């Protein structure tokens, strides 16, 4: 591994905006789908069953006729022997959503098929429009894993091939982090 990258991963420098180290920033969480209003509070998952109408919980979101789940999109940073793990939202069909909720909240044991969905948070890649993916939902697993299935989409390459370290910095910058403070001494 590149000595510079290795220093970053074990480094004690922190982002000036949020106080997180580089390694901590490799887990990026979105607390809600991109279209979800910011004033909707994040509730416990159990609220999904108790509330009517629009609701946002840690792992589920219901907005009008739209249904979303939160899961993980893992992008390998091979040059660093690390991964960028995005806690991100995917829109499912109402049927697929019900199936997933039943299995994960009510402890259904049935083998879950992968479900088709669409990424619901914008990512800094040069491609407009919704990105198709499969949500792999394993019984007992904490979070579903998302696999980009859009042919020829830049995200497909990033997931199947690798996320270059330069792109990691670009993304951190795009999400508002102070990349300079992670790389350079103040």
In angstroms, give the least distance from the CB of 121 to Zn ion: 17
Of 24 and 95, nearer to Zn ion (C-beta) is 24
Judged by beta carbon, residue 1 or residue 174, the one nearer Zn ion is 174
* Shortest spacing between CB 20 and Zn ion, in angstroms: 6
Other residues' Cβ atoms within 10 Å of the Cβ of residue 24: 12
String of b and e for 138-176 (b: at least 16 CB within 10 Å)?
A: eeeeebbbbbbbbeebebbebbeeebebebbbebbeeee
Minimal distance in Å, beta carbon 56 to Zn ion? 23
Which is closer to Zn ion, CB of 15 or CB of 103?
Answer: 15
Rounded to whole angstroms, how far apart are CA atoms 143 and 30? 14
Would you say 77 or 96 has its CB closer to Zn ion?
A: 77
What tokens were used for 161? 């091939």
Judged on CB neighbours under 10 Å (0-12, 13-18, 19+), 4 is exposed
- Nearest distance from residue 52's CB to Zn ion, in Å? 37
Catalog residues that contact Zn ion under the rule CB under 5 A: 15, 17-18, 177
Find out whether 155 and 134 touch, Cβ atoms under 8 Å.
Answer: no
**Minimal distance in Å, beta carbon 114 to Zn ion?**
33
**In terms of CB distance, is 17 or 40 closer to Zn ion?**
17
The residue whose two tokens read 């480094």 is 11
């Amino acid at each position: 591994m590149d000595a510079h990258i290795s220093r970053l991963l074990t480094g004690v420098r922190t982002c000036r905006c949020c106080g997180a180290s580089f390694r901590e920033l490799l887990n990026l969480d979105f607390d809600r789908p991109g279209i979800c209003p910011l004033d909707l509070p994040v509730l416990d998952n159990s609220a999904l069953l108790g509330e009517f109408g629009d609701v946002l919980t840690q792992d589920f979101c219901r907005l009008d006729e739209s249904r979303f789940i939160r899961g993980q999109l893992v992008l390998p940073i091979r040059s660093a022997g690390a991964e960028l793990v995005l806690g991100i939202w995917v829109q499912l069909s109402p049927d697929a959503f019900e199936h997933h909720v039943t299995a994960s909240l009510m402890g259904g044991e049935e083998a879950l098929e992968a479900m088709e969905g669409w990424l619901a948070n914008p990512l800094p890649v040069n491609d407009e429009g919704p990105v198709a993916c499969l949500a792999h939902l394993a019984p007992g697993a904490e979070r579903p894993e998302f696999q980009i299935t859009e042919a020829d989409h830049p995200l497909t390459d990033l997931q199947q091939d690798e996320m270059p370290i330069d792109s990691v910095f670009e993304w951190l910058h795009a999400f508002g982090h102070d990349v300079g403070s992670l790389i350079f001494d103040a």
